[in-house]
Structure 1
Amino acid sequence: MRIETHALSATAGERTILTDVNLAIEPGAFTGLIGPNGAGKTTLLRLLAGLAEPAAGRVTFDGRTAAQTGRRALARAIAYLPQSGPVHWPLRAEALVLLGRLPHRGALGGIAAADRAAVERALATTDAAHLRDRIVGTLSGGERMRVLLARALATEAPVLLADEPVAALDPGHQLACMALLRDAARRGSGVVAVLHDLTLAARFCDRLILLAGGGVLADGPPERVLTDAHLRASYGIAVHRGEAGGEPFLLPWHALPSPTCQPETP
C-alpha cells in the first residue's frame, strides 16, 4: 500500500503542529520519523494510520481516502503500534497478541489455524514467546513493548507504523527490534517508526523524515538528512561522528544556541 499526504496540516487546539506536508510512504522501505519533542511525529503517524483527521489537506491510501477505503480494510492494511497502548483488562500476553488478528475475523468468527500461526510467528519474532502466559500488567516496560509489537506484527499488514518502538527496550532488544523492522521492509512492507536514537536511525533506516518548525526540514537517505546543519537547525546540537564496521554512528555531543529551522520546500 502507498500512503500519501497532500498539503497536510494539523493543529492541537489553537496551536499549529504541521503545515503543508506532502509525503509518500512506499512499500519496501524502512522510514524513520525524527525530530525534536513537539515537532509532530506522533501526530503525523496517526494521520498516516487514518486515526486522526487533518486540519487541512488529505491522506490517501493507494489513491483513496480513508472513507473510500473503509475502516475494516484499513485495519487489515495498516498495523499501528502506539507509544504506550493501555490495556484495561488482566489479559494474558498471548491473548493480547491475538487481538492483532481481529481485522481478519468476522464479528462471530472463531480463532482459525491461520490466526494461531500468525500469533506464534509474532511472539517468536519479538522474543516474547516465553511471556505468553504472563498477565500484561505484570510485564516490565520493555516486555510490554515487545508484546505490543507482536500484536502489531500478528496483523500481518502490508504497512507497519510504530511510535517509538525501541524507547523502553534494553540495548540488545533495541538492536533486535530495529533489525526486525528493517527485515519487514526488505520483505516488502512499508515500515515507518518514530525514533529518537540518531545512530539507530542512521544505521537501520532507508529514509529519514526530519520534522521541525512545523513541517519537513529534510527528507531522504540518512546521510543527506543527518547533516550538521540540519541537526543544528532542528535539535540545536552538535554531534560527534564515527564509523564502526563500515556503518556510521553519531553521538549528540553538546547543545548549541537555540535552533532556527526552515522546512524544506516539497
Structure 2
Amino acid sequence: MRIETHTLSATAGGRAILTDVNLAFEPGAFTGLIGPNGAGKTTLLRLLAGLAEPAAGRVTFDGRTAAQTGRRALARGIAYLPQSGPVHWPLRAEALVLLGRLPHRGALGGITAADHAAVERALATADATHLRGRIVGTLSGGERMRVLLARALATEAPVLLADEPVAALDPGHQLACMALLRDTARRGSGVVAVLHDLTLAARFCDRLILLSGGGVLADGPPARVLTDAHLRAAYGIAVHRGEAGGEPFLLPWHALPSPTCQPETP
C-alpha cells in the first residue's frame, strides 16, 4: 500500500503542528520519523493511520481517501502500534495479541486456524511467546511493548506504523525490535516508526524524515538527513560521530543555540 499526504496540515489546541506536508511512503522501506518534542511526529503517524482528521489537505491510500477505502479495508491494510495502548480488562497477553486479527474476522466469524497461526508467528517474532499466559497488567513496560508489537504483527498488514516502539525496551530488545522492523520492510511491507535514538535511526532505517518548525526539515537517506546543520537547526545540539563495524553512530554531545529552522520546500 502506498500512502501519500497532500498539502497536509494539522493543529492541536489551536496551534499549528504541521503545515503543507507532502510525503509518500512506499512498500518495502523502513522510514523513521525523527524530530524534537512537539514537532508533530505522533500527529503525522495518526494521520497516516487514518485515526485523525487533518486541518487541511488529505491522506490517500493507493490513491483513495480513507472514506473511499473504507474502515475495514484500512484496518486490514494498516497495523498501528501506539506509544502506550491502554488495556482496560485483565486480559492475558495471548488474548490481547489475538485482537490484532479482528479486521480479518466477520461480524459472526469465530477464531480460525489461520488466526491462531498468525498469533503464534507474531508472539515468536516479538520474542513474547513466554508471556502469552501473563495478565497484561502484570507486565513490565518493555514486556508490554513486545506484546503490543505482537498484536500489531498479528494483523499481518502490508503497512506497519509504530510510535516509539523501542522507548520502553532494554538495549538488547531495542536492537532486536529495530532489526525486526527492518526485516519486515525487507519482506515488502511499508514500515514507518517514530524514533528518538539517532544512532538506531541511522543504522536501521532506509529513510529518515526530520520534522521541525511545522514541516519537513529534511527527508532522505540517513546520511543526508543527519547532518550537523540539520541537527543544530532541529535539536540545537552538536553530536560526536564515529563508526563501528562499518556502520555509523552518533551521540548527542552538547546543546547549542538553535537558530529558527525552515522546512524544506517540497
Q: CA deviation at 1:14?
A: 1.3
In 1, are the aligned partners of 2:77 and 2:158 still within 8 Å (CA)?
Answer: yes
1:112 maps onto 2:103 in alignment: no
- Provide the secondary structure at the position in 2 that maps to 1:64: coil
- In 2, Cα distance between equivalents of 1:155 and 1:37: 29
Aligned position for 2:256: 256
Identity %: 95
Which 5+ residue runs of structure 2 have no aligned equivalent? none
- In 1, Cα distance between equivalents of 2:108 and 2:123: 25
Structure 1 segments, 4+ long, off by >2 Å, are none
In 1, are the aligned partners of 2:234 and 2:258 still within 8 Å (CA)?
Answer: no
- Provide the secondary structure at the position in 1 that maps to 2:133: coil
Q: CA deviation at 1:108?
A: 1.2
Which 5+ residue runs of structure 1 have no aligned equivalent? none
Q: CA deviation at 1:13?
A: 2.1
Aligned position for 1:243: 243
In 2, are the aligned partners of 1:126 and 1:149 still within 8 Å (CA)?
Answer: yes
In 2, are the aligned partners of 1:21 and 1:215 still within 8 Å (CA)?
Answer: yes
Aligned position for 2:74: 74
In 2, are the aligned partners of 1:240 and 1:250 still within 8 Å (CA)?
Answer: yes
RMSD: 0.4
- Give the direction of change, closer, same or farther, for the CA distance of 1:202–1:53 in structure 2 (3 Å limit): same
Encode CA deviations 1:87-136: one digit per residue, 9 max, x unaligned: 00000000000000000001111110000000000000011000000000
- Provide the secondary structure at the position in 1 that maps to 2:107: coil
In 2, are the aligned partners of 1:240 and 1:251 still within 8 Å (CA)?
Answer: yes
Q: CA deviation at 1:251?
A: 0.1
Q: CA deviation at 1:258?
A: 3.2
In 1, are the aligned partners of 2:94 and 2:132 still within 8 Å (CA)?
Answer: yes
Give TM-score scaled by structure 2 length: 1.00
Q: CA deviation at 1:67?
A: 0.2
In 1, are the aligned partners of 2:28 and 2:187 still within 8 Å (CA)?
Answer: yes
Q: CA deviation at 1:260?
A: 1.7
In 2, are the aligned partners of 1:33 and 1:210 still within 8 Å (CA)?
Answer: yes
- In 2, Cα distance between equivalents of 1:125 and 1:250: 28
- Provide the secondary structure at the position in 2 that maps to 1:261: coil
Q: CA deviation at 1:259?
A: 3.7
